[in-house]
A and B are shown apart, each in its own frame.
Chain A
């Protein structure tokens, strides 16, 4: 929904029904961008595969183009060499967008604390949900996804990010 429409609607009685419909749509059709770099990405593949089946949560359309995605899933260690690329990918995703730090490395650097590893992606980009584990089990990933859905559920077109503020 464009910024202009949001600005028109935000002061009317329509806000609530519009929010409800939009959020419901967004929540169950996340398109993840799998920014997988390491071990956690392999578990992400398991989540996407037959046994855990991410499509039960409406998020099976995995894209590798930031322009086609709204949920950035960062799975794996981010090295200093990779950091500017992650930032660039994040910037290229259109609003509204959400970020999941999947695994200890993405959350905090995990077991790596040395000359080449970034200590958590939140030093580079904002993060909505942190999923702990090394690697997190597929169940934990799905739990994180549900948390993202809850965040989306609580959003409103009144929020600054929808008004271009």
Chain B
């Protein structure tokens, strides 16, 4: 089964498709630039595969190669539950590629990011301009020859006018109407309560009706990917906390799982179960914060107190594990930082049986049938399942539109297939459904935690491999061998084989992917995070077209955009 798609592609497009090096059983091919549109269209439409979800497009830079740049596409087929990677080499003198926006709308922002960071130009893209860096930025920071500390100041608050924003790139829709007297451009954010500090939306209005909304992001771009290239694999873990900082544990788990795949190792069952427990606890926190913030934005403060009370309870559990509330850094490559402390399991059980459900049910009572809430959210910001998939939606936002795709079920990892839980789906894909899906997911997470606690196996919490796991602290202080091992591992780092992998987990917002390229040294050559909310937020114009300003506020809140993972 594994390489059916690759075989088909090789047979069907012998001129443009060539096999990529085989590594860790991933399906990957190299595609020549000329043949790319044809191959992409085929993969999208072919009834056997139906790669309807474009998970990611990213750039990479290999200065020593003849074709210096590479664009990497990650496609996913919900039908066959398989990933496919396409790699396209591009020369430096003419770094252009045909756009994929005509097939997947999701390509829009991913291509802009590859342009911003690497200078790869996508021909035919409707509006190819910078996305993460500011508009006065010169150069492309993720290129290997760009210095990591090459700061560039922005001299004025980012204030591209509507026309400038729209006319970038090739043939973008210029706006003759924008200047008409009855229309106005309203700037919302980034310093606005509902934009949570770092989002910005420009809305073209007629009266209070939104004709077109145009999101601007990048206000929290912190250079995760560039920084990660200068660190060892272990040192990247704390940075992953700060991607989706509301549920840091899940990023820790996602990242370590990716590096473990790169290394070709499997962690013990105990580690897997603990990772499941902390992930699901984090999912609950994430959903609580999302619901609380969404409801505050809509104008109800009370549920916020209830949600945050339970969140504090869960934080108590996490703090007992790793000493930090938010920035956990709890996982290690090949295991965990510490085992569960004494009495933790009982405490956790008590919390998830009594306290957390209480908060969820109280919120439910306050909100779910609340007339004002229902009126404000039902039918607001709706999107169909097909569109949502095309925009690259995953997670609760996709499931609210009726597509029952969840990595935990589709490509189970860590024994998720052994747990008994349901995937809630909505039917209308509106703000209200997104709320309901999140509420139900929290209940399902409680079920998973309960089962994982019951089945928690005994076992080591880190893998027995001197090249990967640090020795016990105790031993480092008392045994010479352990001291040497410790020092060696810290100085030399973990050395994975040369190769590249893409690994996904189901994070609170959807598919969290890590694409890691290793050149065999202790530092990753390239790490690309596939953040779930990046794809989701770009659909905002479609979600809000024709609605009111107040609906935009409700919609943005329900998408749960976390700037840390949006801008990285």
Given contacts A38-B245, A39-B245, A114-B148, contact A50 B308 (CB under 8 A): yes
- Bound-state CA distance A51–B238 (Å) is 27
Partner of A82, one of B190, B223, B315: B190
Do residues B325 and A79 form an inter-chain contact, with CB atoms below 8 A? no
Chain A interface category by residue count: 35 or more
Beta-carbon contacts of B273-302 to A below 8 Å, as 1s and 0s?
A: 000000000000000010001000000000
Do residues B289 and A81 form an inter-chain contact, with CB atoms below 8 A? no
Given contacts A42-B246, A81-B218, A84-B157, contact A50 B309 (CB under 8 A): yes
- Bound-state CA distance A85–B134 (Å) is 12
- Bound-state CA distance A81–B199 (Å) is 12
Do residues B141 and A115 form an inter-chain contact, with CB atoms below 8 A? yes
Residue B219, interface by CB 8 Å: yes
- Bound-state CA distance A51–B196 (Å) is 21
Residue A89, interface by CB 8 Å: yes
Partner of A79, one of B218, B227, B309: B218
- Bound-state CA distance A50–B155 (Å) is 40
Residue A46, interface by CB 8 Å: yes
- Bound-state CA distance A39–B198 (Å) is 12
Residue B163, interface by CB 8 Å: no
Do residues A46 and B312 form an inter-chain contact, with CB atoms below 8 A? yes
Partner of A51, one of B146, B222, B309, B327: B309
List, in ascending order, chain A residues with CB within 8 A of B190's CB.
Answer: 82, 85
Beta-carbon contacts of A90-129 to B below 8 Å, as 1s and 0s?
A: 0000000000000000000001111111000000000000
Residue B503, interface by CB 8 Å: no
Beta-carbon contacts of B103-140 to A below 8 Å, as 1s and 0s?
A: 00000000000000000000000000000111000000
Do residues B220 and A82 form an inter-chain contact, with CB atoms below 8 A? yes
- Bound-state CA distance A39–B568 (Å) is 12
List, in ascending order, chain B residues with CB within 8 A of A79's CB.
Answer: 218-222, 567
Do residues A43 and B197 form an inter-chain contact, with CB atoms below 8 A? no
Do residues A112 and B222 form an inter-chain contact, with CB atoms below 8 A? yes
- Bound-state CA distance A66–B548 (Å) is 25
Residue of A nearest to B567 (CB): A79
Pairs A-B, 6 closest by C-beta atoms = A49-B308, A39-B245, A114-B223, A81-B134, A64-B193, A84-B157
12 contacts between A and B (CB under 8 A): A38-B197, A38-B198, A38-B242, A43-B325, A79-B218, A79-B221, A82-B220, A85-B219, A111-B239, A111-B242, A115-B223, A116-B221
Which A residues are closer than 8 A to B by beta carbons? 34-39, 41-43, 45-46, 49-51, 64, 76-77, 79-85, 88-89, 111-117, 134-135, 137
